[in-house]
């Protein structure tokens, strides 16, 4: 008896389907990674330009409950620009790290699929040059990537 062979086009199709599924999965994972990083980058571009109104808009609802928009705008301009004696700063972003679960505060609600992005802001002001390092957390809220800070310590 003759054994049936699997037709070559079927094998090629199966390999292509598996490859596409793999690439889609990888793309979706990396896409979230890039979107989280892009949100942090946009936030700090606004901050660097002194556009604290637009940077506040990128906060997660939990952050917006911590301080009003007007207080945030006033405090950021006062502390960073007036006290530090700087007009702007540069910044660099580290590699985003995905966290399965994270809380903004000890008693806060746990959020899932959060990205931690290390940020270093470099200031050159009247008191010399200095760096501020902060981990920024990003999560999707209603289809948009939103910024959170850590208040656990």
CA distance 152 to 2: 70
Tell me the two tokens of residue 8: 């070559």
Mean pLDDT for the stretch of residues 91-105: 95
Average pLDDT, the chain: 87
Give one word for 63, left, alpha or beta, with left for phi > 0 and alpha for psi -120 to 50: alpha
CA distance 17 to 53: 47
pLDDT of residue 53: 95
Q: In the beta sheet, which residues pair with residue 118?
A: 135
Mean pLDDT for the stretch of residues 5-9: 69
Say whether pLDDT at 15 is over 80: no
pLDDT in tens, 103-152: 999 999 999 999 999 999 998 888 888 899 999 999 999 999 999 999 98
Supply angle C-alpha 84, 85, 86, rounded to 5. 95
Q: Given the structure tokens 């000890």, which residue do they identify? A: 106
- 3-state SS class at 114: strand
Ordered domains of the chain (ranges, CATH): 8-148 (3.10.450.100)
CA distance 127 to 116: 30
Most confident region among 27-31, 40-44, 84-88 by mean pLDDT: 40-44
Cβ pair 118, 65 in contact under 8 A: no
pTM listed for this prediction:
0.78
Tell me the two tokens of residue 47: 């901050």
pLDDT of residue 28: 53
User: In percent, how much of the chain has pLDDT > 70?
Assistant: 86
Cβ pair 87, 40 in contact under 8 A: no
Cβ neighbours, 10 Å, residue 150: 14
């Amino acid at each position: 008896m003759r054994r049936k062979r699997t037709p070559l086009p079927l094998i090629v199709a199966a390999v292509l389907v598996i490859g596409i599924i793999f690439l889609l999965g990888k793309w979706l994972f990396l896409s979230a990674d890039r979107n989280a990083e892009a949100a942090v980058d946009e936030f700090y571009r606004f901050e660097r330009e002194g556009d604290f109104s637009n940077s506040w808009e990128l906060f997660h609802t939990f952050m917006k409950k911590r301080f009003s928009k007007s207080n945030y705008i006033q405090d950021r301009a006062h502390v960073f620009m007036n006290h530090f004696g700087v007009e702007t700063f540069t910044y660099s972003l580290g590699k985003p790290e995905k966290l399965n679960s994270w809380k903004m505060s000890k008693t806060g609600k746990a959020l899932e699929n959060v990205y931690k992005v290390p940020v270093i802001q470099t200031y050159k002001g009247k008191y010399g040059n200095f760096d501020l390092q902060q981990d920024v957390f990003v999560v999707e809220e209603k289809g948009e990537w939103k910024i959170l800070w850590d208040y656990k310590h």
